[in-house]
């Protein structure tokens, strides 16, 4: 039992690290390394930028003003105030007089992000829908890169972009810089190679309205609407593409509590989608989703295996010997040679990811490899723990009818707004962190830095000794290469042979599917239907008059009745709005 757990718990991260790294390099060479210049589009179809807001008073003004300066020539901004209890509504009302192409839809109470996005779609007259969070900053050229994919592929239902970390002023945020490059970015690049993506990024994705309408829009009863809509689209044979040059600057959690809440929500959403679409996914006609599904379920088993390993280790040292079976005894979980090898593979993955995404940072990202040493352990612990808790919560609340409501995380543009970034010189920015971090946290940062460097030494020293040992073994083979050392070399070689076999099998499956079925059905030439107002009203279970009202007014108020049908409220207004204003042309 101990051997099996060791092999699986150790082998799975190594295989996935090599798998993601290889896939990211292939994607970079095929689709990313060339054509860095903004694409020139023959036409510029209208895009609706949806910004759902819930208690975003600290950052919504900066976000919308930055959106209004987008370089794309044909767009509208629709802000959806999802039952905010702070000053968000008043700020949005003021901005309607400052931003010409801004509409505001006020929901009378908090219905959740999925309902907010559906409400924004009803107020739009655009062919494409761009979804972005209220505390994110969309790059001014991002829409050009996204629309290019839609014009080149009629069956493209969504294009997800590249989220880049804006707040780099805390240890936790700097660790997450490596995550978005070496985990999120590399995973999406690799999954794009096989034609299916586990999830779009909820903070930075553009959708084709016809595709959204075809799958029934976002589901209101899910914790993460982005994972659910991704699986719905792909099970209906809509393509999802990843465009790393479509950048959005985002704010990541800077406290362990907010990071835990975010990752728990992600884990719940992933398990919801995997169980909701499990029966449909593993049908032969959806075989292109098999790799995504198998990858998820194996990762779920790995999380429980890691948790069980820790439990066995704790029991080995606390439970009396006569009460704990020999087969479940694990003496140590501290990294030995296997841990050093695993850590180095992960650091290689981070190095490749940071090097690729450095193309999109003025000062580069490779300097953050220093902090990446923390992330594998932090990521695995948080990922495994949140997955275990999420599965428990899912079954605990199974059968309950609910909206996937959300609360704004405790972060704002306070530490990294555009005005600070533009006003301070590079010399000052290097020391900005030490001025804004409270005195009580500076000692902790120094201590963490010291421990981080100690871990680097711990990892590098065995590798240097291995090199020296290898040279000595070559010169004094009969004296230095013991039976134990020879067996260790065979075990290490066996791991990498197994990885190579699995990787070749995966590549063979992809190549076979492409040759066997490519070109059999030309979906790219199919004409796409236009979503009319009647179609929209029917899908939303409302009347044409409701949709027409939302489209023709700059600021409107909306609620959902007992049957979850949207109803325009012509009585409720903000404190300084007397009547609904007609929309500007």
DSSP 484-524: HHHHHHHHHHHHHHHHHHHHHHHHHHHHHHHHHHTTSS-GG
pLDDT score recorded for residue 489 = 63
Tokens of 523: 């979906």
Kindly state the tokens that stand for 376: 């594998």
- Which pLDDT does position 435 carry in this prediction? 43
- Region of poorest pLDDT, from 185-189, 201-205, 355-359: 355-359
Q: Find all residues with CB under 8 Å of 238, minimum gap 6, and list them.
A: 155, 156, 157, 158, 208, 211, 214, 215
Query: Hunting for tokens 């080995």 — which residue is that?
Result: 316
pLDDT tens sequence across 52-77: 998 888 888 888 998 999 999 999 99
Instruction: Check if the beta carbon of residue 80 is closer than 8 Å to that of residue 51.
Output: yes
Task: Report pLDDT for 567.
Answer: 83
Angstrom distance (rounded) from CA 298 to CA 8: 10
Residue 149 confidence class, pLDDT cut points 50, 70, 90: very high
CA angle 21, 29, 231 (to 5 degrees): 60
Q: 150 or 568: which carries more pLDDT confidence?
A: 150
pLDDT at 423 > cutoff 60 = no
pLDDT for the residue 430? 36
Domain ranges of the chain: 1-42+135-203+221-424+482-528, 46-126+532-585
Share of the chain above pLDDT 90, in %: 20
Model confidence at 221: pLDDT above 50 = yes
At 254 the pLDDT is 80
Looking at per-residue confidence, does 456 or 314 come out higher?
314
Write the DSSP symbol of residue 339.
Answer: H
Which residues, including other chains, have CB under 8 Å from residue 524's CB and lie 6 or more apart?
A: 153, 154, 155
Query: Among residues 147, 176, 121, which one has the least CA distance to residue 246?
Result: 147
| Residue in the block written with tokens 């150790």 | 10
pLDDT in tens, 250-290: 888 888 888 888 889 899 999 998 999 988 888 888 888 88
Mean pLDDT of 140-161: 92
Contact of 164 with 180, CB cutoff 8 Å: yes
- For the chain, what is the mean pLDDT? 78
Q: If 0-12 CB within 10 Å is exposed, 13-18 middle and 19+ buried, where does residue 501 land?
A: exposed
Kindly state the tokens that stand for 298. 């194996």
pLDDT value at residue 372: 67
Query: Rounded CA gap, 375 and 384, in Å?
Result: 14
Dist. CA 161–CA 149, nearest whole Å: 12
The answer on pLDDT for 403 being more than 60 is: no
The average pLDDT across 1-15 equals 73
The pLDDT of residue 412: 45
pLDDT at 213: 92
More confident residue, 148 or 581: 148
Asked if residue 310 has pLDDT above 70, the reply is yes
* Spatial strand order in the sheet of 47-53: 137-138, 239-250, 156-165, 204-208, 128-132, 47-53, 75-82, 102-107, 555-560, 566-568
For the ranges 143-147, 170-174, 407-411, 427-431, which has the lowest average pLDDT? 427-431
Question: What gap in Å lies between CA 354 and CA 352, rounded to an integer?
Answer: 6
The residue that leads in pLDDT, 463 or 26, is 26
70 to each of 49, 101, 208, how far by Cα in Å? 11, 12, 19
pLDDT-wise least confident of 27-31, 224-228, 330-334, 380-384: 330-334
Alpha-carbon dihedral sign for residues 223, 226, 227, 231: positive
User: Which pLDDT band holds residue 145 (cuts at 50, 70, 90)?
Assistant: very high
Query: What are the angstrom distances between the C-alpha of 570 and each of 61, 254, 437, 508, 574?
Result: 26, 41, 47, 60, 12
């Amino acid at each position: 039992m101990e051997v099996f757990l060791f092999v699986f718990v150790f082998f799975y991260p190594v295989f996935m690290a090599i798998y993601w790294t290889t896939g990211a390099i292939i994607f970079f060479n095929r689709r990313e390394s060339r054509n860095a210049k903004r694409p020139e589009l023959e036409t510029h179809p209208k895009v609706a930028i949806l910004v759902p807001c819930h208690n975003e008073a600290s950052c919504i003004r900066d976000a919308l003003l930055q959106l209004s300066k987008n370089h794309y020539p044909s767009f509208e901004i629709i802000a959806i105030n999802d039952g905010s209890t702070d000053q968000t509504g008043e700020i949005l009302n003021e901005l309607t007089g400052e931003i010409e192409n801004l509409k505001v839809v006020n929901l009378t109470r908090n219905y959740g992000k999925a309902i907010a996005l559906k409400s924004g779609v009803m107020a739009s007259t655009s062919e494409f829908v761009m979804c972005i969070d209220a505390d994110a900053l969309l790059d001014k050229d991002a829409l050009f890169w996204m629309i290019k994919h839609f014009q080149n592929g009629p069956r493209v239902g969504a294009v997800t972009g590249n989220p880049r970390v804006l707040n780099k002023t805390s240890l936790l945020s700097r660790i997450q810089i490596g995550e978005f490059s070496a985990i999120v970015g590399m995973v999406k690049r690799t999954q794009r190679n096989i034609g299916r993506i586990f999830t779009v990024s909820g903070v930075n994705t553009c959708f084709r309205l016809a595709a959204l309408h075809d799958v029934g829009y976002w589901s209101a009863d899910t914790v993460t609407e982005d994972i659910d809509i991704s699986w719905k689209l792909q099970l209906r044979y809509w393509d999802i593409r990843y465009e790393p040059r479509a950048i959005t600057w985002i704010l990541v959690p800077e406290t362990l509590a907010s990071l835990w809440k975010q990752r728990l929500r992600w884990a719940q959403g992933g398990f919801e989608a995997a169980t909701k679409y499990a029966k449909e996914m593993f049908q032969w006609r959806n075989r292109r989703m098999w790799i995504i599904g198998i990858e998820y379920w194996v990762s779920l088993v790995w999380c429980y295996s890691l948790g069980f390993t820790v439990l066995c280790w704790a029991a080995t040292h606390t439970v009396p010997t006569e009460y704990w079976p020999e087969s479940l005894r694990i003496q140590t979980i501290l990294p030995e040679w296997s841990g050093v090898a695993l850590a180095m593979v992960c650091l290689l993955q981070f190095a490749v990811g940071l090097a690729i995404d450095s193309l999109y940072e003025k000062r580069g990202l490779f300097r953050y490899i220093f902090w990446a040493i923390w992330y594998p352990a932090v990521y695995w612990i948080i990922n495994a723990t949140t997955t275990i808790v999420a599965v428990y919560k899912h079954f605990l609340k199974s059968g309950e009818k609910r909206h996937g409501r959300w609360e704004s995380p405790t972060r704002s543009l306070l530490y990294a707004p555009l005005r600070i970034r533009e006003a301070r010189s590079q010399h000052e920015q290097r020391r900005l962190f030490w001025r804004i971090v409270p005195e009580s946290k500076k000692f902790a940062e120094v201590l963490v830095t010291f421990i981080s460097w100690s871990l680097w030494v711990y990892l590098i020293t065995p590798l240097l000794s291995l090199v020296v040992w290898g040279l000595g073994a070559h010169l004094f083979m009969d004296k230095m290469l013991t039976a134990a050392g020879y067996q260790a070399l065979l075990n290490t070689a066996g791991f990498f042979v197994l990885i190579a076999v699995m990787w070749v099998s995966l590549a063979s499956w992809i190549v076979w599917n492409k040759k066997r079925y490519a070109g059999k059905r030309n979906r790219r030439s199919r004409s796409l239907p236009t979503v009319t107002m009647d179609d929209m009203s029917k899908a939303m279970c409302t009347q044409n008059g409701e949709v027409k009202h939302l489209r023709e007014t700059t600021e409107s108020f909306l609620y959902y009745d007992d049957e979850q049908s949207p109803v325009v409220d012509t009585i409720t207004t903000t404190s300084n709005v007397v009547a609904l204003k007609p929309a500007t042309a």
